[in-house]
Structure 1
Amino acid sequence: MQTSTSPATLPFDISTYPKLDPKQAGHLRHYHNLLAQKDGEWHHFGTQEGSQEWDDAYRYQLATMTYAMAVTHYHRLPILKGVFKPLIRRAIHKMLLRQVWEYWFNTSHAGIATMPNLKELRKPWADPIKQENIMYSGHLLLMTSFYAMLFDDDEFEREGSIRLLWNPLFWGLGDEEFVYDNRSVQREILRQMEENDWVGVCCEPNAVFVVCNQFPIIAMRLNDSRDGTNVVEGVLKKYTDALKRKNMIQEDGMCTLFYALDPGKALPSRQGAHTAWANAYMHSWNSKAVRSLYDQYTLGYITQIDGKIELQQTQVAGAFRNLVLVDGEPADSIETLKKARAAAKPEIQVLKTRMPYQTISWGNFSQMLSELGKKEELTAILEYADSHLNPTWEKGGLFYPRNDTVFDENENLVHMEPHSGNSGIGYGRLNVEDGQKKIWENPWTRETLANRPSIEGVTLADGFDFLRGTWDEERKAVIVTLRPWEDGTKKATLRVENLAKGSWNVFVNGSLRSIHEATTGVSVEVVSGGAREELDVVVLRQ
């Protein structure tokens, strides 16, 4: 019933509130499509190196799409708890599957790739958390820390809540289960950082990478915000000191390849993708250094010549840097780029047989550029991806399918691996400037979540994409825009939870639908007439 305080039409224009564009919504839909697969199905996840030992392994794809969903929820769609919680929960579930972490049993033997003086293999262990392997444990820690912070849910903070089942069918003396929780994983990581003189925890045996140690550090900050502690301050003081003492950041701004605990030496960088990946997350706590060194570490990798911005292939970028830094060639010359491409060809041919895996450039640079707010560079890379990298829509989801060819007949870089194509480029589109930094500085607290509404009752599994989902505190307005991803009539019931007691007007597509006397929340049923019709729902305090 309409009252004198209930206008017939919405009294303000919601077009002033940003909404996701179709490509951003398409990336979220693709994440949903991947995560909705039955356990054991990994369609589109398939990696360059089938044993999960390269940078496009399942764990990295799952982690990066989790971080993409986290920044989207935090910055763009903050009240859509019912949409994001099951997505991130499903990503954690898949992260715990044996197919994701069983590579570690073989890797734990060690090998001459990272321990060149090794004479016999070590005794292996299957537990992927207890020692080394920060490239799994660090991501698992941050994924579960994001889950706790974003949704004020202690599921993975409870003792014994993280369970990893080691159960090969025809190997071993029976099943083993490795049992942890978020804080016990953090304790294992801190123990190893201290044992390694605070330079970080190993990824592969004997090898400490800068990038993989950023994720547990962010998790420690989020955990501090929930526990009322300040563990991360002491860790960062020791860690930054170790980075300097052990020369982990080179004079040219690049992260070293890795720090070899034996013989206690940082090996020089071979590519820029790890530096970009590290800086996308290190920026959260070390933004001044990451920004000040930008021109140095992106030289050759991101070129701007004759007004054209391009991301260069790893070996081409290395040759370009050498031509500029050693030979004095101009960095803005097409001739320098031509020379670099010619110089890189022999090395690329050698790599096809020795190490036939391209670095994860598209996704890692997209993540970094979005975090630093380098809009011109990020736009150029995304436009290139849409022109040359076969953007594909499937079941409403957008991704860039795997392509093992490095260059096309016109020398365009067309290589695509699933870490970038499934999750990394999507992260770049969905993140905002200072996305991780703002979360670091102001993580959501229990009080944050207790003092604003949230949307429950409808998820991406119901066939709707969500373009808006925000709370305007000044207007006391819940604002949601959704649309079905395919044609046909679709129904949804939105539960608007955690409303203050009182009268609330419900508007659908600008017209007053109903009035509710709320105690904690209201339900709104909407029906889309098809043709991907957008539906605007506003719940406004009288």
Structure 2
Amino acid sequence: MTEEQLGHIRHFDNLSRQLLNDWSMMQGKGIGQFDFGAIRFQVAYMAYGLALAHVHRLPNAPGVFKPVFERLIEKILLPEAWLYWRDVSRGGAVFNAHLAEKYREEWNPVARDNIMYSAYVQSMSLMYHYLFGDDRYAQPGALAFDYWSFFWGGEPKHFEYDENSLNEHLYWQMVESGYLGVACEPNCTFQICNQPAILGFRMHDLVTGENVAAEVTRSYEQAWAQLGRLDSTGHYNMMLTQDSGTVFPNESAAPWIDAWCGTLMNTWNTEFVHSHYPQQIQDLVVEGPDGTKSVRTPPDLQVMGQTVINDTCDFGWVATWASEMGDTATLDGLLAHADRFMKPTCRDGGLFYPRNDTEADDNGNRTIVEPLTGNALLGYARLNVPDGMRKLYNEPWGPEHFTEPALTAVSGDIAVSQARFSSASNVLTFRVQRHGDRDGDGSIVLGNVADRRQWSLTENGVIVATGRAGEPITSDQPSDGPVEIDHVEGGVRVRVPAGAPRTFLLEVSPQ
């Protein structure tokens, strides 16, 4: 992995460690967490980016990703991420003003509609179970939504779910909609926001052996075939109003609509997405200086005589889409533009692009950066591989993956840039670097090793340590500097000093 990729992972980690209700660098232009750049989306797409990096780049380093995932799930359950629903659930907005009397105030953020939040809780918790073989969110009450304030709101609010009950709840909402999808705001069903739910159904199937995702996608496709996924210009229709059955097109060819939908729909509808991508992307991307590429800015949306203030994150979404489509030329051009015009910043070892509300510089180069783009989406795009989310969805790990040697715990001062096991050679290759300016003890725990008949750890062709099940470790000091190796609960601990990156080969006997 590159320094930039490691920097994005570190930034995700840094944001996940912020204190309770410290949302520094995550607040966009909008108010109340209503819009498309809200906290819930930032948290979710950091988690998705971590999943892609784990599966495709560091498959044998769960210790890098698992604790960050847990902290992100903890954050998306906090009231700040979902309390907007108390107001939004009542309707009274542009597309449901006429239905305002029908809807009651709803505190439970997953009880009805609100797929723009509930699907992320569902998919993140089930993705965690699949990636790490850990069923903690399957336990009763593991996903709980709690709110109480001394100042307002009345009695404490407490809504208990787990990954299975939430998945079942969303499935029946999908069925009750006639498979057209679950609404975000009341009456408003977006194509985009139902894709994470489908991803969650697939993660559930990978964990349980069921086949819900295939049923849902088959029926969902049949339902939308009557409406049309694309508008008359070839771009993805934005949404459907449930009461009238009216489909709203992408009238201004807004980049975020095509890119967000295409990025996720590629999981289960890849031929359709790939076939329409060339024409769609051509309408969205503009050439910049020295091989850079940017994204066309559609006119501001005007509603009821007001300019809509909304973090659309067009640039970030087009970057993620290009990464999923394997469009290297477009992705490289967009990232080059970001690095030149969007002030890449390093903070505590983490790489991000800070919020900037100025649309363009004096030369017309796009400079606007929304927190979702700068914190999550550009990192997601760099960490992804061509068809990365499609492969996560369709090419699952087998049970043998969880018996392979792996870095199961990684100290906070260690950056892991390589961790892959070859079953052909029975060798785990891992590359690590300890940073002296970060908190941690420089240790890595190697799991699925201690009970092997025999194992050996080498660096630069020199044996550093050997071991056998039930016997003490034999260790020699490598020429590159001291390495401490001992047995700990859960595996073999390796502690390295601060300095340059170091590459180790762990050879194990077959199970």
TM-score, normalization by structure 2: 0.90
Deviations 1:459-500 (A, max 9, x none): 3xx212110111111121111111134559975232211136
- Classify 1:488/1:404 alpha carbon distance in 2 versus 1 (closer, same or farther; 3 Å): closer
> Which has the higher mean CA deviation after the structures are superposed, 402-411 or 379-388?
402-411
CA distance in 2, matches of 1:119, 1:81: 47
Cα drift, residue 348 of structure 1: 7.7
Deviation at 1:524, TM superposition (A): 4.3
Question: What is the identity, as a one-letter code, of the residue corresponding to 1:42?
Answer: W
Measure, in 2, the Cα distance between the counterparts of 1:488 and 1:299: 44
Instruction: Please give the alpha-carbon distance, in whole angstroms, between the structure 2 residues aligned to 1:166 and 1:487.
Output: 38
Structure 1 contact 48–54 (Cα < 8 Å) conserved: no
Name the counterpart of 1:385.
338
Residue in 1 that maps onto 2:277? 294
- The yes-or-no answer on 1:527 pairing with 2:496 is yes
Structure 2 CA distance for aligned equivalents of residues 98 and 301 of structure 1: 36
1:262 aligns to 2:243 (yes or no): yes
**1:505 aligned residue:** 456
Pairs within 5 Å for 1:328-367: 354-367=307-320
Alignment of 1:379-458 (within 5 A): 379-445=332-398, 447-458=399-410
Q: Aligned pair in 2 of structure 1 residues 488, 199: CA closer, same or farther (>3 Å)?
A: closer
Q: CA deviation at 1:515?
A: 1.1
Once the two structures are superposed, what CA deviation does each residue of 1:314-347 show, in whole Å capped at 9, x if it has no partner? Answer: 31xxxxxxxxxxxxxxxxxxxxxxxxxxxx5xx5
Aligned CA distance change for structure 1 residues 355 and 349 (closer, same or farther; 3 Å): closer
CA distance in 2, matches of 1:352, 1:297: 30
Q: Which moved more, 1:305-314 or 1:63-72?
A: 305-314
Q: 1 CA distance for matches of 2:212 and 2:153?
A: 39
**C-alpha distance in 1 between matches for 2:343 and 2:216:** 43
Conserved 8 A contact 2:409-2:444: yes
Inter-CA distance 349–103: structure 2 relative to 1 (3 Å threshold): closer
- Flag the 1:489–1:146 CA change in 2: closer, same or farther, 3 A: closer
Counterparts of 1:358 and 1:170, CA distance in 2: 30
Q: CA deviation at 1:193?
A: 1.5
Cross-structure match for 2:480: none
Following superposition, the deviation at residue 349 of structure 1 comes to 9.6
Is residue 471 of structure 2 the alignment partner of residue 471 of structure 1? Answer: no
User: 2:178 matched to 1:211?
Assistant: no
Which residue is 2:505 aligned to?
538
Q: 1:351 to 1:394 in 2, by over 3 A?
A: farther
Aligned equivalents of 1:272, 1:198: Cα separation in 2 = 26
Say whether 1:284 aligns with 2:267.
yes
8 Å Cα contact 1:469-1:479 kept in structure 2: yes
The alpha carbon displacement at 1:365 in A equals 1.1
Q: Match for 1:125: what amino acid?
A: E
- Alpha-carbon distance between aligned partners in 2 of 1:303 and 1:27, rounded to the nearest angstrom: 26
Partner of 2:473: none
User: Structure 1 stretch 116-125 or stretch 259-268: which is displaced more?
Assistant: 116-125
Cα 1:540–1:254 change in 2 (3 A) is same
Contact kept, 8 Å, 2:427 with 2:505, in 1: the verdict is yes
Offset, 1:414:
0.6
Structure 1 residue 155, shift from structure 2 partner: 0.9
Letter in 2 for 1:420: T
Output the CA distance in 2 between the equivalents of 1:362 and 1:485: 32
SS of equivalent residue, structure 2 residue 131? helix
Q: Secondary structure at the match of 1:208?
A: strand
Cα distance in 1 between the residues matched to 2:310 and 2:439: 45
Q: Which moved more, 1:262-271 or 1:391-400?
A: 262-271
Q: Is the 8 A contact 1:210 1:278 kept in 2?
A: yes
Q: Counterpart of 2:95?
A: 114
Q: Which has the higher contact order (CA 8 A, sep 6+)?
A: 1
Q: What is the SS of the residue equivalent to 1:433? A: coil
Contact preservation (8 Å) 1:26, 1:396? yes
Task: Letter of the 1:495 partner, please give it.
Answer: V
- 2:413–2:439 Cα contact (<8 Å) kept: no
CA separation of 1:239 and 1:526: change in aligned 2, threshold 3 A: same
Q: Is the 8 A contact 1:275 1:297 kept in 2?
A: yes
Residue aligned with 1:409, SS = coil
User: 2:91·2:97 contact (CA, 8 Å) conserved in 1?
Assistant: no
> Do the aligned residues in 2 keep the contact of 1:396 with 1:485 (CA within 8 Å)?
no
Q: Does 1:58 align with 2:39?
A: yes
How many residue pairs match? The answer is 488
Which of 256, 260, 263 matches 1:273?
Answer: 256
Unaligned runs of 5+ in 1: 1-19, 316-343
* Distance change in 2, residues 1:471/1:352 (3 Å): farther
| 2: CA distance, partners of 1:264 / 1:366 | 32
Q: In the aligned structure 1, how far is the partner of 2:35 from the partner of 2:294?
A: 21
CA deviation map 1:98-146 (0-9, x unaligned): 1110010010111131214346473201101010000100111110111
Q: Match of 1:67?
A: 48
- The amino acid of 2:369's aligned partner reads M
C-alpha distance after superposition, 1:482-530 (max 9, x if no partner): 1134559975232211136222111235432111113697524333343
Secondary structure at the counterpart of residue 122 of structure 2: helix
Identity, % of aligned positions: 30
CA RMSD of aligned residues (A): 2.3
Moved more, 244-253 or 382-391: 244-253
Q: Which consecutive residues of structure 2, in runs of 5 or more, have no partner in the other structure?
A: 471-486
Which of 349, 352, 369 lines up with 2:322 in the alignment?
369
Corresponding letter in the other structure for 2:505: V
